Amino acid sequence: MKKYFYITAIAFPIVTGSAWAQETTVQPTDQAPAEQTEGETPDDGMAGGAPAAGDMATESAPAEGMAAESADSETTVPPSDVVVPQQDSAEMLGDWLLSTSVTSPDGETIGSIKDFIITEDGQITAVILGVGGFLGIGEKDIAVDYSLLDIQYDGNAIQLAMTREEADAAPEYQYRDKETPPPATGDAMGATGTDMNSETGMTGGEAGTMGAAPTE
């Protein structure tokens, strides 16, 4: 009997120790920390600190507006003696006179205005009238003094102290060919090259030396 109690006393601590070890097993470490809430990612804090693209665009918008206002304020104003602001009451547009019929004092149609003759200083000396013919066939151009035209109602009525027979008998106007500027000559091109060398402070020999390939 004593032997039974002795064996029981030895086995009991062993059994209870094994059960206690099972109860105190360490919890798995794959669970999320208590501070991290469900659905939150570790980068949320960093993302919250970085400015969004919309905020960056909003911050750059005032700078662009200030740059545009500065460019407008620096716009060069043309000189007042170059720009004409408006048309005077005594001035007319050439379009008002073009294709307008010119009549005699008796109301007979002499011809219609086709063009203007203008001097180098901008003065209109004559107008070209298409006279004669029928529906443009057999028509000829004559020039009449612009100062002799009686222009009324902004070009709605134009009279000339001439009959149609006189206009048909007038000589045809002789046009000249339009001149064009002469082409650039070799001397002008050579002078340009010399000026470029003088501006850079190099002589012709120095310029040639720079263009030459290095020798070994």
The tens digit of pLDDT for each residue in 88-141 reads 999 999 999 999 999 999 999 999 999 999 999 999 999 999 998 777 678 999
Interacting residues of 131 by C-beta distance below 8 A, sequence separation 6+: 110, 111, 139, 140, 141, 142, 164, 167, 168, 170
Q: What is the mean pLDDT of the segment spanning 80-85?
A: 85
The confidence score (pLDDT) of residue 180 equals 93
- What are the pLDDT digits (tens) for 148-183? 999 999 999 999 999 999 999 999 999 999 999 999
Asked whether the predicted pLDDT for residue 62 surpasses 80, the reply is no
Interacting residues of 146 by C-beta distance below 8 A, sequence separation 6+: 116, 117, 124, 125, 126, 127
Q: Which residue has the higher pLDDT, 56 or 160?
A: 160
Domain edges within the chain = 94-169
Q: Is 20 helix (H, G, I), strand (E, B) or coil?
A: helix
- What are the pLDDT digits (tens) for 9-34? 555 555 555 544 455 444 555 554 45
The confidence score (pLDDT) of residue 216 equals 46
Residue 210 buriedness (CB in 10 A; 0-12 / 13-18 / 19+): exposed
d(CA 115, CA 128): 5
The confidence score (pLDDT) of residue 31 equals 53
Domain 94-169, what fold? SH3 type barrels. (2.30.30)
Query: Could you tell me the pLDDT band of residue 45, with boundaries at 50, 70 and 90?
Result: very low
d(CA 60, CA 159): 67
The confidence score (pLDDT) of residue 190 equals 53
Which value, to the nearest 10 degrees, does the dihedral of the CA atoms of residues 109, 110, 116, 121 take? Answer: -110
The confidence score (pLDDT) of residue 81 equals 81
Window from 54-68, 156-170, 187-201 with minimum mean pLDDT: 187-201
The confidence score (pLDDT) of residue 185 equals 85
The confidence score (pLDDT) of residue 116 equals 97
The confidence score (pLDDT) of residue 153 equals 94
**pTM listed for this prediction:** 0.51
Question: Quick check: 151 and 92 in contact, CB under 8 A?
Answer: yes
Q: What is the mean pLDDT of the segment spanning 142-150?
A: 97
The strand pairing partners of 140, in sequence order, are 131
Asked whether the predicted pLDDT for residue 44 surpasses 80, the reply is no
Q: What is the 3-state secondary structure (H, E, C) of 94-140?
A: HHHHCCCEEECCCCCEEEEEEEEEECCCCCEEEEEEEECCECCECCE
CB atoms within 10 A of CB 21: 9
